[in-house]
Amino acid sequence: MQVEMSRAWIEIDLGALQRNAAEMARRATVPLLPMVKADAYGMGAVPVARALESLQPWAFGVATVAEGAELRQAGVDRSILVFTPLLADEFGSARAHNLVPTLSSAALIRQWAESGGGRWHLAIDTGMNRAGVQWDRMAEVSDLVRSHPPEGAFTHFHSADANDGSMEVQERRFELAVRALPVRPVHLHAENSPSLERRGPSPWTLARPGVFLYGVGGGAGASVRPEPVAHLRARVVEVREVAVGETVSYSATWRAAAPCRIATVAAGYADGVRRSLSNRGVALVRGCRAPIAGLVTMDMTMLDVTGMACEIGDMATFLGRDREASLDISDVAASAGLSPYEVLVGLRLRAQRIYVA
């Protein structure tokens, strides 16, 4: 379907995505298990998975059976791991779509085996305290692992971007846990994007990059930065003169201190322009920064374009590059008081996507 760029759209640079993934692979020196959960962080799981095929990933990671089923129905035939713990009544659907569960308790391992078994990965909790068998309690699953060996085992770092030593503590715990198993799994994976940014090569057999692929990086100690992938754009649909003392948008939170020009842009919080950017964020118009004036509304956002070249039909960029200027996801997130992850997944709304190589 062709996207008509007459209102609001998200431009997704698949070439940048591939180059970001290639950088992760170069640093890891082991096969990748790219995370494409949450519709590939808002970028579109199917086109993203297809674009990443050029790197020959070992598998793809999702959070739910439904996400895995979507990839299968689109023709993706690589291994797909489901990283959120499944309920026993989801096992049948997981098998039907040839998905690999990550099992996080003795009860689930037993139920998986008794319901037919198959490939699975063992989730080991080394400090996240979210899901997984606790690292120093491997005895609880030892007999089950012996009789039904997992294909892989993994853990998840809680603060790999902090460079505070916690990642190293978790890795030591992970290795101790794996050594305590009666059978060492063939595939071991722990590293996420921040850990791969900080170091390489990987000491494990697989690496799980996520948010770096989509243009977010630069944590503490990072030696590489990703290229931007998502560009949120919309058209200017009105430009008006506003007199001194006049207000803009709901609740009159913005008032003109001098005569000004206000541009109305056809994108609002239903398109991914976060409401918390009201009176704080900016957009790029012809490569220049225009402050957001007043509250972001559901369908429209107003910009102060006083002293700038701006006409009806111009493109406004709320995220990404425009000419020589750019609005980095992390900076936009900071202005909105959000995490970059929230900004990305918040793009899964009304604005249509277009894909460029």
- Are 76 and 70 a contacting pair, CB within 8 Å? no
Specify which residues 288 forms β-bridges with.
285
Alpha-helix runs per DSSP H in the chain: 14-28, 37-41, 45-52, 65-73, 91-96, 106-114, 142-147, 166-180, 193-198, 329-336, 340-345
Cα separation, 242 vs 305, whole angstroms:
11
- pLDDT per residue as tens digits for the range 257-286: 999 999 999 999 999 999 999 999 999 999
pLDDT at 24 over 90: yes
pLDDT at 1 over 50: no
Residue 348 has a pLDDT of 86
Can you read off the two tokens belonging to residue 326? 């750019």
- pLDDT per residue as tens digits for the range 99-119: 999 999 999 999 999 999 999
Mean per-residue pLDDT over the chain, rounded: 95
- Please provide residue 177's backbone torsions phi and psi, each rounded to the nearest 5 degrees: -65, -45
Residue 4 has a pLDDT of 58
Q: Which of 37, 214, 269, 355 is catalytic?
A: 37
Cα separation, 86 vs 90, whole angstroms:
6
Cα separation, 156 vs 136, whole angstroms:
15
Can you read off the two tokens belonging to residue 142? 């030892």
Q: Closest Cα partner for 180 from 199, 202, 206, 153?
A: 153
- pLDDT per residue as tens digits for the range 321-356: 999 999 999 999 999 999 999 999 999 889 999 999
Residue 253 has a pLDDT of 98
Within the chain, all domains assigned CATH 2.40.37.10 are found at 230-356
Residue 95 has a pLDDT of 97
Check if 355 is active-site.
Answer: no
What average pLDDT score do residues 65-79 get? 98
Q: Residue type for 26, please? A: R
Residue 257 has a pLDDT of 97
Q: Which of 214, 250, 269, 341 is catalytic?
A: 250
The set of residues, in sequence order, having a beta carbon less than 8 Å from that of 243 and lying 6+ positions away, is 256, 259
- pLDDT per residue as tens digits for the range 48-70: 999 999 999 999 999 999 999 99
Q: Of all residues in the chain, what percent carry a pLDDT higher than 90?
A: 93
Check if 250 is active-site.
Answer: yes
| Fold of the 31-214 domain | TIM Barrel (3.20.20)
Residue 198 has a pLDDT of 87
What average pLDDT score do residues 301-306 get? 98
Residue 219 has a pLDDT of 59
Confirm or reject CATH 2.30.31.10 for domain 230-356, answering yes or no.
Answer: no
What average pLDDT score do residues 289-300 get? 98
Residue 200 has a pLDDT of 84
Q: Which residue has the tokens 């170069």?
A: 26
Within the chain, all domains assigned CATH 3.20.20.10 are found at 31-214
Residue 33 has a pLDDT of 98
DSSP string, 211-279: GGGGT----TT----PPP-EEEEEEEEEEEEE-TT-EESGGG-EE-SS-EEEEEES--TTTT--GGGTT
- pLDDT per residue as tens digits for the range 207-266: 999 999 999 997 555 678 999 999 999 999 999 999 999 999 999 999 999 999 999 999
